[in-house]
Structure 1
Amino acid sequence: MQSTIKKKLLHALSESDQDFLSGQALAEIAGCSRTAIWKHIEELRKEGFVLEAVRKKGYRIIETPDSVTESKIRLGLQTKTLGRVIHYEESVQSTQRIAHVLAGDGAAEGTLVISDEQTAGRGRLMREWHSSKGTGIWMSLILKPLLPPQKAPQFTLITAVAVVQAIEEATDLHPQIKWPNDILIDGKKVTGILTELQAESDKINSIIIGIGMNVNHTKEHFPDELQTIATSLAIEQGDTLSRSEIVQKVLERIEALYSIYMKEGFTPIKLLWESYAISIGKKIRARTINGTIEGRALGITDEGVLKIEDTTGTVHQIYSADIEVNI
């Protein structure tokens, strides 16, 4: 109930275009007493919202915090399903772990798990992911498509396109995708994507998409060994950014591409993915569990599998590998 009132308050205040709304008007909108409105206004202030209160005029929002709390993400979110249920915690070991538990307990599609800090974040192949507090986006999204399990890897590629589009909308930057799950800016990693599955033999129960994005990191936030290969949006843009706005844009772009995918299949996504890919037409090295393959990247199949043509003209299909570009 309290969360519903807060949502109504934030929506009304954000739609008021900085005009004052009286306590009585807010009480009528939220369906509660004026005393309850005052209590919720105080809760929003504790979250970092700057709210002006003027006698006989009411309340208005002056400034919103750079946070990724449920209240902040909901303020202006334009999705129908994704992010309509948000599980926020200030610090967690891993948003992915929490999302797996929630999905197993029947969480609704579109449930978002997000935190200000991860203490045990991980990427592909169980690698450590540095998730410093208050600087980045550490989130996991639960999807429940009615599809067979073999379609799940395509959601890594859908998400990669969505993240690139969201960054382009929020900044002046032009990210590129390195197959299968890295977003790069000028060759340095800014985002990683981890897609995991809860499934039966013939159907997906849940896809859990983890996204780790370096947003407002400075160079000093990265360990020495990562400073030449990792970057952040703020470093590349030359200015800090609103993390909640980027979360909103990512959710909105995933929802749009997810809808296209379910209606039209993977082909439209494939064309978008290849337009952003850093490796197409370049010589690459793919390190797989069965050995190393070198050759020219041709693109991806309709299933999202990477195609490499070696020096003999043989085309290899790569399902999982570490990729080096421009070798």
Structure 2
Amino acid sequence: MAITVKKTKHKILDMLLNHSDTHLSGQKICDVLGCSRTAVWKHIKELESEGFKIEAIQKRGYRLLSTPKELSEARILVGLKTKELGQHLIYFDSIGSTQKEAQHLAEDGAPHGTLVITSHQTTGRGRLGRIWSMPKGKGIAMSLILRPELSINRIPQLTLIAAVAVVKAITDVTGIQTDIKWPNDILVKGKKMVGILTEMQTEGTNVKAVIIGMGMNINADKNDFPEEIRSIATSLKTLTGKSHDMSLIVQTILFYFEDLYMRYLDEGFSVIKWMWESHAVSIGKRINARLFNGKVLTGLAKGIDEEGALLLEDDQGSIHKIYSADIEIK
């Protein structure tokens, strides 16, 4: 586990990224950061061990040639364009569940914006306790701790904000257009690529913390998925035939989430609602909604209301507000 603030290693990487077209001498780095050349060399070697390709030429210095596609704690932090989200980063090479770890950290007072992240989650879960399968090193599991001053009934809206942020980020980084399936799935061509799980900690009627978990299939090959889910799951690599920069995807999601979250706090849910509905795959289609009590409602998905509840019009013309259900598009 690595609990991260701005380290010397990250400052060196920042300098290399900003001077990628030229060499930086070890002495120049030392002068700027106030460290020894031996320390610089050690940090360069550590970055190389994390997958950064760095050219070192005697009397000229260091030049960054390429960054890893794999998830990198240093790469996430360097260039992260948020004020709070992800600035306190807790990175694991491997963990059972980022969501469980974030729950514990939130109970212990972790600050707003704390991010728990890994590319190898062994006991991940989604809604209703379902297992989330993620091949080692080829996906992203992350849990974001928020400290919102919101009423309990507004917390489900945060799931929808997260979904819009993910859709925008994936399009920005890859050009791929994705769909949202209410309430928490991101689909491409009908197959699931991202799942979102929102949980909260309360004290009476007060919300103490919200933990938004995201599981994302990024660089998995088709055969990496268990056979029983290959027909319903996909990844960016499966779709495009190439690997993608997972750290950049995380940076971009956090950037969009923070922007949308602040707009939501300032302007209300209406600014998010139309964006969510513009990507919703079920709007205008007939669906089955299986409720927790086993009852199944069938009808036309009309949209979402100002609380984020799904509006379903049944065959008798009655409108049902659905706050939690499994949705099947007919």
Q: TM-score normalised to the size of structure 1?
A: 0.96
The residue that corresponds to 2:311 in the other structure is: 307
Does residue 103 in structure 1 map to residue 93 in structure 2? no
1:248 corresponds in structure 2 to 251
Does the 8 Å CA contact 2:20/2:65 hold for their aligned counterparts?
no
The residue identity in structure 2 corresponding to 1:197 is M
Query: Quick check: 1:58 aligned with 2:61?
Result: yes
Aligned identity (percent) is 51
- Partners of 1:60 and 1:204 lie apart in 2 by 48
Partner residue, 1:220: 223
| Partner residue of 1:16 out of 16, 19, 30 | 19
1:120 and 1:213 map into 2 onto residues whose CA distance is 14
* Native 8 Å contact 1:68 1:114 kept in 2: no
Q: Are 2:85 and 2:115, in contact at CA under 8 Å, matched by a contact in 1?
A: yes
Does 1:188 pair with 2:191?
yes
Deviation larger for 177-186 or 100-109: 100-109
1:33 aligns with 2:17: no
Q: Structure 2: which amino acid aligns with 1:178?
A: K
Q: Which residue of 2 aligns with 1:7?
A: 10
Deviation at 1:219, TM superposition (A): 1.0
In the other structure, the counterpart of 1:198 is: 201
User: Are 1:230 and 2:219 an aligned pair?
Assistant: no
Question: What secondary structure sits across from 1:174 in the alignment?
Answer: coil
Q: Which runs of 4+ in 1 moved over 4 A?
A: none
Instruction: Note the C-alpha offset of 1:140.
Output: 0.8
SS of match in other structure, 1:236? helix
Q: Determine the structure 2 residue equivalent to 1:264.
A: 267
Going from structure 1 to structure 2, the CA distance change for 1:2 and 1:169 (only over 3 Å counts) comes to closer
**Residues of 2 paired with 1:92 and 1:127: CA distance?**
17
Query: Any conservation in 2 of the 1:8–1:29 contact (CA below 8 Å)?
Result: no
Q: Deviations over 1:45-78 (max 9, x none)?
A: 1112111112222111112122222102123222
Is the Cα contact below 8 Å between 1:217 and 1:235 reproduced in 2?
yes
For the 8 Å contact 2:98–2:116, the answer to whether it is kept is: yes
Task: State the alpha-carbon separation in 2 of the partners of residues 319 and 112 from structure 1.
Answer: 27
TM-score (norm 2): 0.95
Structure 1 residue 89 displacement after superposition: 0.9
Inter-partner Cα distance in structure 2 for 1:98 and 1:79: 22
RMSD of aligned C-alpha atoms? Answer: 1.4
Give the structure 2 partner of residue 120 of structure 1.
123
Query: Residues 30 and 2 of structure 1: is their aligned pair in 2 closer, same or farther, counting only changes over 3 Å?
Result: farther
Q: Deviations over 1:90-134 (max 9, x none)?
A: 111011111111111111211111112111000000000002101
Match of 1:317 in 2: 321
In the other structure, the counterpart of 2:88 is 85
1:135 aligns with 2:169: no
Q: Secondary structure at the match of 1:146?
A: coil
How far apart are the structure 2 equivalents of 1:223 and 1:34? 48
Q: How far, CA to CA, are the matches of 2:6 and 2:77 in structure 1?
A: 11
Unaligned runs of 5+ in 1: none
How many residue pairs get matched?
Answer: 326
Partner of 1:155: 158
Unaligned stretches of 5+ residues in structure 2: none
Query: 3-state SS of the aligned residue for 1:169?
Result: helix
Find the aligned partners of 1:3 and 1:75 in 2 and give their Cα distance.
9
| C-alpha contact (below 8 Å) 1:149/1:201 kept by paired residues | no
Indicate if the aligned counterparts of 1:156 and 1:194 stay in contact, CA closer than 8 A.
yes
Distance 2:5 2:126 in 1: 36
Determine helix, strand or coil for the equivalent of 1:249.
Answer: helix
Aligned partners of 1:166 and 1:253 also within 8 Å: yes
Q: How much has 1:172 moved relative to structure 2? A: 2.7
Report the AA paired with residue 75 of structure 1.
V
Tell me what 1:176 maps to.
179
| Matched AA of 2:161 | I
1:218-265 superposed Cα distances (whole Å, 9 cap, x missing partner):
110111111111111111123221111111111111111111101101
Counterpart-to-counterpart distance in 1, 2:72 and 2:98:
14
For residue 216 of structure 1, what is the amino acid of its counterpart? N
Moved more, 299-308 or 169-178: 169-178
Q: Give per-residue Cα distances to partners, 1:2-35, cap 9 Å, x unaligned.
A: 9521121111111113311111221122222222
